[in-house]
Every structure is written in C-alpha cells, then in structure tokens.
Amino acid sequence: MQTILFAACLALAQVPAAPAKEATVPVAAPLSFYSESFPFQWDRTIPLTANVDGLKVSKIFFNKRMIQGGVLGMLKTTEFGTRAQVEVTNTSTLPRVPGFAVAVLDRDGRLLGVASGGTKLGTLSPGETETFDLNFTQVKERLASGATFILAVELRN
C-alpha cells in the first residue's frame, strides 16, 4: 500500500505545474478625474482654476466651524468640526455628480489630515454653483500648520 502511495506522489511531483495566473488589477471605470497639489493656507480663501469636464473649481477654504452663542447672557463659542469648503460651478450643458478628496501635508510631506465629500443626492445642474463642505475627522489637530494640500476631483455617472 505504501508503495502505491509513494508511486502516486512521485507521479504527481513529475507532472509539470500549471503556469501561475497573473493577478488581475481591476480597471477603473472611465470617469473624469483631476488631482493637483497646491500651497496651503489656513483660514484664507485660496483661488483655484481647475476644470474637470465643465466642472469649474474656483476656490477652497480651510477652517474650523465656530459658532458664537449666548446662554444666560454669557458668550460661549462652540466648535462644529474642521472643514475644507470647495466652491464649484457646472459650466457644462450636462448635470455633474462630483466627488472630492483633500489631503493636507506638512513641510516634510507628512500627512496631517484627509477630508472627502461630494453630492449626496442628485446632481449639480448646468450653470449651478455650489459649495461643498468636506469634513476632517479624527486626524485634524495639526492642519493649521500645513504647507501643501492635494485636491482630487472625480466625476461619476
């Protein structure tokens, strides 16, 4: 019995192995895409001139959302998160569905924070201008000391 098992194992070992399959990389759907790096400024409007298939990105603004409120005559400032505001205009004749990602880096290229966002429901109609709030969460405390930021815009159908 052992001789038969040994012979079967020896026969299998001599059969040439099938060539290994190459890993297939998923191909992204053909969408409009834009990505560029810019100098960073905290709490100041940064003008932009990006155009992604008729979606004009005109400016971005980084800050903390602060609201002054009053409770029994006492002023209290409440923070409502850290954000990047991106203003865009659809200059095309077709509706657009944009998505945005922003990464802020320090002078040494270290990542200080990332935010993303875009249309939730519906589209950005032709001729319409809209401001999108991209929220930074968890990793955000060093954003004000950023040196550069990367903006990515992706249109989806």
Render pLDDT for 49-93 as a digit per residue (tens, 0 to 9). 999 999 999 999 999 876 666 555 556 666 678 999 999 999 999
Quick one: pLDDT at residue 157?
72
Q: How large is the average pLDDT for residues 137-145?
A: 93
Residue 14 neighbours by CB under 8 Å, 6+ apart: none
Q: How large is the average pLDDT for residues 15-39?
A: 74
Output 101 or 79, whichever has higher pLDDT. Answer: 101
Global pTM reads 0.75
Q: For residues 129 and 21, give the distance between their C-alpha atoms in angstroms, rounded to a whole number.
A: 49
pLDDT over threshold 70, residue 19: no
Contact predicate 85/61, CB 8 Å:
yes
Quick one: pLDDT at residue 8?
46
Cα diameter, the chain = 95
Output 25 or 71, whichever has higher pLDDT. Answer: 25
Q: For residues 81 and 65, give the distance between their C-alpha atoms in angstroms, rounded to a whole number.
A: 6
Residue 133 neighbours by CB under 8 Å, 6+ apart: 83, 84, 85, 117
Helices and strands (H and E) in the chain: how many: 1, 8
Contact predicate 86/57, CB 8 Å:
yes
pLDDT over threshold 70, residue 147: yes
